[in-house]
């Protein structure tokens, strides 16, 4: 399993492999739920579930956006609000504001509910940085 920055070995046992074999192809985006085996060197993930990224949107309930201190600029926040306003839906929105290295505030919007789309995630990451958006289940 790899992303743009790193890679890690994932151990998939036969029962899960048989169930999700069609998901395991180079270039397919997947979410792997599992446990980190730190006893092995290098560490690896023991997969408990494999979910297609396109299906994550069906099970997720929250949209999280992590904004680093250097991205907390008025023009970025105005553009972010525009992006979010154009993707309304039924899911909770959490903003993780990194005010300093030691101070982080998490805000759950009471008024804005989100819809999920690949374009929203892509546009937000282009605005405030890669790996700044994730979907949560609870």
Task: Give the CA-trace dihedral at 56, 58, 60, 65, to 10 degrees.
Answer: 70
Q: What is the pLDDT of residues 50-106, one digit of tens each?
A: 888 777 766 778 999 999 999 999 999 999 999 999 999 999 999 999 998 899 999
Q: What is the pLDDT of residues 11-29, one digit of tens each?
A: 999 999 999 988 888 877 7
- Whether the pTM exceeds 0.85: the reply is no
* Structural domain total, the chain: 2
Assigned domain for 48 exists: yes
Instruction: Clarify whether residues 22 and 76 are in a common domain.
Output: no
Instruction: Clarify whether residues 74 and 132 are in a common domain.
Output: yes
> Other C-beta atoms within 10 Å of 114: how many?
22
Domain assignment of residue 112, given as a range? 60-136
């Amino acid at each position: 399993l790899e992303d743009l920055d790193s890679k890690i070995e994932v151990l998939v046992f036969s029962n899960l492999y048989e169930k999700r074999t069609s998901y395991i192809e180079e270039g397919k985006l997947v979410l792997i739920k599992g446990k980190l085996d730190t006893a092995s060197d290098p560490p690896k993930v023991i997969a408990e579930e494999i979910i297609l990224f396109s299906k994550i949107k069906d099970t997720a309930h929250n949209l999280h956006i992590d904004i680093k201190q250097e991205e907390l600029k008025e023009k970025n926040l105005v553009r972010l609000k525009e992006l979010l306003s154009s993707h309304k839906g039924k899911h909770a929105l959490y903003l993780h504001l990194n005010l300093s290295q030691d101070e982080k505030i998490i805000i759950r919007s009471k008024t804005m509910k989100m819809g999920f789309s690949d374009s929203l995630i892509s546009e937000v990451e282009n605005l405030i940085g890669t790996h700044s958006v994730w979907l949560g289940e609870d």
